[in-house]
Amino acid sequence: VITGSVITADESRAEVDNALCTTRAIRRRLDLDRSVDHTLIHEALTVAAQAPSGGASEPVRWLVVTDAATRLAVGRTYREAYMELDQSRAAPSGESAGQVTRVRDSSRYLAEVMGRVPVQVVVCTTEAAPICSTGPEAAKFYGSVYPATWSFQVALRTRGLGSCLTTIGLRRQDLIAEVLGIPAGWTQCALLPVAHIVGSDLSAARRRPLEQVVTWV
């Protein structure tokens, strides 16, 4: 009950669906000039801690980077990793070229400003990455990290904060580990820029039609 009104099951479902459908990869709309109250990050991490993990092992560790010099160092490393990738990949072609170009432009922008976002969150796991990249071990390893990461992003979203899951920086994960003093044996899985979102109009994205991706057996 909130101020005398009752939230119905339909309203509650609509709110959850809306949060899930409008948690976008926010890059250009990260507000670089507005600081983020640490309480909001703490609340979102509390929500994320409820995510599932294989064997209830809870291996996720979060490094919340707010120190300006450290953010700059992480940002510089991320940009180098991005430039290395960008120079090595072919120009987009075919039907999806326009969409790929848009995502790349947006990703390049993020690489330029990563050091200026008010908060960076590095998501780690205490486990070593599996030697075999397929099969149940790999599934358990990554599947124990990304649900919590997504929960964190959705919880940020409902608090007016934007984020973007990035993995390109993992090309330079040793340097990032050195900057942040990440314990040996932990594995980095993502770097998230976090900031207030400029504007409030976020909508659901266009995705492949369900008929293309769902098989009922």
Ligand X SMILES: Cc1cc2nc3c(=O)[nH]c(=O)nc-3n(C[C@H](O)[C@H](O)[C@H](O)COP(=O)(O)O)c2cc1C
Nearest to 65 by CA among 110, 118, 109: 118
The gap from C-alpha 45 to its chain's centroid, in whole angstroms, comes to 13
> Among 14, 16, 20, 205, which residue interacts with ligand X (rule: CB under 6 A)?
205
8 A C-beta contact, residue 43 and residue 111? no
8 A C-beta contact, residue 71 and residue 115? yes
> Among 120, 151, 166, 187, which residue interacts with ligand X (rule: CB under 6 A)?
166
Least separation in angstroms between residue 6's CB and ligand X is 33
Token pair for residue 156? 């940020």
Q: Does 168 bind ligand X (CB under 6 A)?
A: yes
Least separation in angstroms between residue 43's CB and ligand X is 22
Size of interface with ligand X, in residues (CB under 6 A): 11
Closer to ligand X by Cβ: residue 7 or 20? 20
Closer to ligand X by Cβ: residue 47 or 103? 103
Choose the binding region for ligand X from 1-9, 43-51, 54-62, 102-110 (rule: CB under 6 A): 102-110
8 A C-beta contact, residue 166 and residue 117? no
Nearest to 67 by CA among 122, 123, 27, 148: 122
Least separation in angstroms between residue 114's CB and ligand X is 9
Closer to ligand X by Cβ: residue 164 or 195? 164
User: What distance in Å separates the CA atoms of residue 14 and residue 193, rounded to the nearest whole number?
Assistant: 27
> Among 128, 167, 174, 178, which residue interacts with ligand X (rule: CB under 6 A)?
167
Q: Does 164 bind ligand X (CB under 6 A)?
A: yes
SS3 state of residue 128 = coil
In this structure, the number of other CB atoms found within 10 A of the CB of residue 216 comes to 3
Token pair for residue 80? 């180098």
Q: Which of residues 21-60 bind ligand X (CB under 6 A)?
A: 24-25
Choose the binding region for ligand X from 46-54, 57-65, 158-166, 171-179 (rule: CB under 6 A): 158-166
Least separation in angstroms between residue 49's CB and ligand X is 20
Choose the binding region for ligand X from 89-97, 112-120, 126-134, 164-172 (rule: CB under 6 A): 164-172
Q: Does 117 bind ligand X (CB under 6 A)?
A: no
The gap from C-alpha 199 to its chain's centroid, in whole angstroms, comes to 19
Q: Percent helix, strand, coil in the chain (nearest 5)?
A: 50, 15, 35
Closer to ligand X by Cβ: residue 17 or 37? 17
